[in-house]
Chain A
Amino acid sequence: MTARPRWLVATGLLAPTGVWLGLFLIAPLALVVQFSFATRDTGVARGVLPWTLRAYATALDPAFLPIFGRTLAYAGATTALCLILGFPLAWFIARHGGRLRTALLVAVLVPFWSSYLARIYAWKALLDGDGLVNLLLGAVGLDRDGGFLLTHGAVVVGLTYGFLPFMVLPLYVACERFDHRQVEASYDLGHGRASTFLRVVLPGVFPGVLAGSLLVFVPSAGDFVTPKLLGGVGQSTFGSVIDDQFRGGNNWPLGSAMAVVLLVLVAVVLVLRGRRGEDVL
């Protein structure tokens, strides 16, 4: 356009974004890292020294191990369930959606973009002791006293409901790119359905599986509202422990140390993803 160097123009255009994210994302995250090296006694006032690892010692205490385990189990089960539900849907839209593809994809997204809390409350109402699910299951004698709230299943269903579109979108992109003639070729070569699926389809759409799993796993590991509302007090997760430390002004250094651990976990997952899932994200 002009003689000005390209990087100068680009940096100028990016500057407002950089300032905003620097102030309201990077600086707060850096502050959390600083908090995590403080103690409750020294407080978390500006520039607290000396730094200590006491908060980390508490955060990584074996007492918190069950919470770690539960968080990872919820996130893992949610990811698996999203894969099981999301793959047929993505494959169907990509292969048989025809002219309705875009409309069907939008239809997947509409519930996702509508109130997160409302969706949890919908499940809360459905899974309650006198809720519809229990009522319907009662008709076939499968009802459960007190309903399905406060169970692990309720949490996983709620999380799955919340994050399913994150799985469907990258899977759809991968399924659409997948060359279906490979399936015909596999059948022609005498492979059965199962073997074709495992050896041809799955490797073909794997980047999508990886990207979708990542997009589901990370937010469900950090979520605390769903476990809190559908799981109750006995089902605290990593996110809800962090929340507790800050909400009551309980123990900010401990909460910060746990937040840093969660960030590191996310970073590890991102690095593990490597470059394989990148093009579908």
Chain B
Amino acid sequence: MSRRPWVLGVVAALVFGFLYAPIGWLALVSFNDSRSLSRVTGLSTRWYVELFGDARVLDALGLSLRLAATSAVVATAIGTLAAFGLRRAFPGRGAWTVLLSLPLVVPEVVLGVALLGFCVKLAGIPLGFGALLAAHVAFSLSFVVVVVRARVAGLDPRLEEAAADLGASPLVAFRTVTLPLVAPAVAAGAAFAFLLSFDDVVTSSYLTGVGSTTLPVFVYAQAGRRGVSPEIVALSTLMVAVSAAVLIAGVLVVAWRARRASPASTFVGSGRDQGTRPTGG
């Protein structure tokens, strides 16, 4: 298998090509000066200009950004608490883990119709921002917990013990020792939650109200009606750009914080470095 690694390298490069070519083409075509999606005849920003002249697009973008930010704050806050709750074994931890894995395995269409039924028939929650927030926090929570929990599990308890020995109250020790060590994972969890919310179309499409549509749902409705137009392509490129920026910023923050945090853990003599290694899943 390893005798000819260059063959494998070529295959890997092709798969990367498969992953990036469509997005790259989308971005290129969004600057096309004609309506064609297959031939680039010249470059212009006319589709973006048109986009930002459309009040519906700006409304949808505004709602999506507000919703994603609110959902990320709520999911990160209660998800981080939950991750600390799961730190040590206690009766019932298994059941909590199962509950938290549910949003990861329930198909989105099922979650969407279930929440639609719940809001309309049972709880009387009007469709729109509130219903969307309830849904987005629900499916983001698990991601936050998974990311933060991995970091919390790698914490060296001796650091907190040292803080306590030096006279720090539990709250002070948490704020000055534990929290800075966990911060990169919290930031990553928040970035993931933001992206999940900003990008969601399936679940959201059941929960948007009149006059309160998120950007992906707006795009979905437009393209369903008229097919893919250059405006939609420009809008899609914009969504990719926002997501990629948030993701890369998140990764950079994590890498930077991990590098800064590591001298402290080496000082205490812990050889484990949990921060920079991807754990997958």
- Per-residue contact bits, chain A 132-174, to B (CB 8 Å; 1 contact, 0 not): 1011000000000000000000000000010010000110110
B interface secondary structure, majority: helix
CA distance A108 to B115 in the complex (A): 32
Determine whether the beta carbon of A12 is less than 8 Å from that of B201.
no
A117 at the interface (CB under 8 A from B): yes
Interface residues on A, range: 35 or more
Residues of chain A contacted by B216 (CB below 8 angstroms): 115-117
B121 at the interface (CB under 8 A from A): yes
Knowing A115-B243, A121-B26, A270-B105, the reply to whether A45 touches B232 (Cβ < 8 A) is no
A interface secondary structure, majority: helix
- Per-residue contact bits, chain B 255-281, to A (CB 8 Å; 1 contact, 0 not): 000000000000000000000111111
Q: How far is the CB of A177 from chain B (nearest CB, A)?
A: 10
Determine whether the beta carbon of B202 is less than 8 Å from that of A32.
no
Q: Which residues of B106-121 have CB atoms within 8 Å of chain A's CB atoms?
A: 106-118, 121
Q: Which residues of A223-258 have CB atoms within 8 Å of chain B's CB atoms?
A: 223-225, 229, 239, 242-243, 246-247, 252, 255-256
A80 at the interface (CB under 8 A from B): no
Determine whether the beta carbon of B79 is less than 8 Å from that of A211.
no
Knowing A13-B81, A121-B223, the reply to whether A91 touches B8 (Cβ < 8 A) is yes
Residues of chain B contacted by A219 (CB below 8 angstroms): 107-108
Q: How far is the CB of A70 from chain B (nearest CB, A)?
A: 16
CA distance A281 to B142 in the complex (A): 13
Residues of chain B contacted by A11 (CB below 8 angstroms): 85, 90, 92
Determine whether the beta carbon of A256 is less than 8 Å from that of B113.
yes
A28 at the interface (CB under 8 A from B): yes
B86 at the interface (CB under 8 A from A): yes
Q: Which residues of B79-127 have CB atoms within 8 Å of chain A's CB atoms?
A: 79, 81-82, 84-88, 90-93, 96, 99-100, 102-103, 105-118, 121-122
CA distance A11 to B92 in the complex (A): 9
Interface residues on B, range: 35 or more
For the complex of A and B, list the 6 residue pairs with the smallest distance between their C-beta atoms, beginning with the closest.
A222-B107, A13-B85, A118-B236, A28-B114, A122-B22, A28-B118
Other than the given A24-B137, A113-B195, 6 more pairs (CB < 8 A) read A32-B114, A91-B1, A119-B23, A128-B228, A219-B107, A222-B108
Q: Give me the interface of B with A, judged by CB distance under 8 Å.
A: 1-2, 5, 8-9, 11-12, 15-16, 18-20, 22-23, 25-26, 29, 36-39, 77-79, 81-82, 84-88, 90-93, 96, 99-100, 102-103, 105-118, 121-122, 134-135, 137-138, 141, 145, 170, 192, 195, 199, 201-202, 206, 216, 219-220, 223-224, 227-228, 232-233, 236-237, 239-240, 243-244, 247-248, 251, 276-281
